[in-house]
Amino acid sequence: MMAIRRNRLQYWAAALVLCLPVSAVAADIPAASTETSELDELVAIARQMNPDLQAAALDADAAAAKIQGADSLPDPKIQWQVQQWPTVNAGALPRSPFLGDDMYTVSQMFPLWGKLGLRRDVAVAGARQASLLRQEVENEVVARLKIEYAQYRSAARVADLDRGLRGRMDTLAKLALAQYAQGLGKQEDATRAEVEKTRLETEISRTDAVRDQARVAINRLLDRDSATPLVEKPGRRAVPAASALDLAALSALAQKANPQILAQDAAIEGADKTADLAVKDWYPDVEVGLGPETMGGSFVGYNAMVSVVMPLEWGLHESKIAEAKAKAMASRDRREAMAKDVDKALADAWISLKSLHEVERLLNDSQLPQAEIGFEAVANGYSLGNTNFVDVLTAEQQLWRTDIDLIKVQFDQEERLAEIEKLVGGKL
């Protein structure tokens, strides 16, 4: 009888050891404190090396290069003209053209009425639009990087939880076998523990795959080898509470700084200048030419010419003006729709972030402590023979799901924060 009591005390002590990692699991979940320096380093690398961003930068450079020649005059023309081209013996066959009277003319077209300035304005607006679109690509790349990094961190933490739970299941299985050997338990308890360990092995494999996929995605954004390692224990970003972020102020900031909206403003300016240029095409351009004239191989004087381009094709010019004005109106409509879309997306992300902070508070303050207490009580009861093994598994899985929920909520917070930062055009 004393041996049985001694064994029961040993089982109770083993259960206490089993319960110790529960609080350790909660302690392993980092509190939202400071953003990891590695994420800042990764963002800096992405800004330099991301291929999508590099392509957008080249597009911006190409648009900027157009400015220099936008207000330049057209290339001059050199004209050679032969008059009184002689024939052979008064016949029909021509003789050498150099035996006739030659005229050489250098001419230059001069667009008037401010057309060159308007062409430059259109090029400047296009360059500004391309530069802002490059910034939009950068914001998109940085947001994707932050989300993938949060995914990598979350998967790493879930894997740690799974491995910790697998260790506790191993201890439970040994405890169940020991109790069964003493006639105090059931053989199926140990079998259930082994089945749960196998399930956890599967979960660990899946979670490791998610982490590896996130690492590959991060390295793709940085244009480096997919196997390049990252830190094993990444920290959380500091996610401000939604109450600390004024939605009206964020909305005003987005309207002023969102590169998509600003790029559309540049598109409107370019469309307006293009419409003005189409109207100016009604005004004629002037071409001026000057050159020497020879007769019989001898210089006899100069010739000059002035020509005017007459805008007589009414349908051509009317269609250009109508096209340019329609594009300008379409740009304004797109700008208005884009501003509304940004406001809606910003409000959705802000509301979601606010809800996620409340869910995190409830998990930390209520559900997680209750799950820990419930598991400890059931585990102690099982060691004393007051509860069955199924209750222990149920309590352990409830604690595990609560920890997973907390990690997912924190990931969702980082995702919403990355979305808000992309919409307002920069880091908060």
What domains does the chain contain, in order, with CATH numbers? Answer: 2-74+114-282+314-424 (1.20.1600.10)
Q: Which of 114, 373, 356, 86 is nearest to 241 (CA)?
A: 356
pLDDT of residue 421: 93
Handedness of CA 297, 298, 299, 300 (dihedral sign): negative
Q: Are 418 and 412 in contact (CB under 8 A)?
A: no
Query: Hey, what amino acid is at 332?
Result: R
Strands 101-110 and 286-295: antiparallel
pLDDT of residue 141: 95
- Cβ neighbours around 364 below 10 Å, total: 16
Question: What is the H or E stretch that residue 381 is in?
Answer: helix 368-383
Strands 77-83 and 101-110: antiparallel
Q: Are 395 and 379 in contact (CB under 8 A)?
A: yes
Question: What is the H or E stretch that residue 195 is in?
Answer: helix 187-221
pLDDT of residue 407: 93
For 123-163, how does the pLDDT look when each residue is reduced to its tens digit (9 = 90+)? 999 999 999 999 999 999 999 999 999 999 999 999 888 88
How far is it, in rounded angstroms, from Cα 337 to Cα 358? 32
Q: Which of 355, 421, 368, 366 is nearest to 25 (CA)?
A: 368
For 217-236, how does the pLDDT look when each residue is reduced to its tens digit (9 = 90+)? 999 999 999 889 988 888 88
**CA distances (Å), origin 233, targets 24, 36, 182:** 16, 10, 42
**CA distances (Å), origin 144, targets 218, 229, 316, 346, 380:** 9, 18, 47, 17, 46
* Radius of gyration over every alpha carbon of the chain, rounded to an integer in angstroms: 39
Q: Residues in the chain with pLDDT < 70? A: 1-36, 82-102, 179-180, 183-185, 296-297, 383
pLDDT of residue 25: 39
- Cβ neighbours around 331 below 10 Å, total: 19
pTM over 0.85: no
Which tokens sit at 107? 């001419």
Specify the DSSP class assigned to residue 233: S
Residue 376 has φ and ψ, to the nearest 5°, of -60, -40
pLDDT of residue 259: 93
How far is it, in rounded angstroms, from Cα 364 to Cα 380? 23
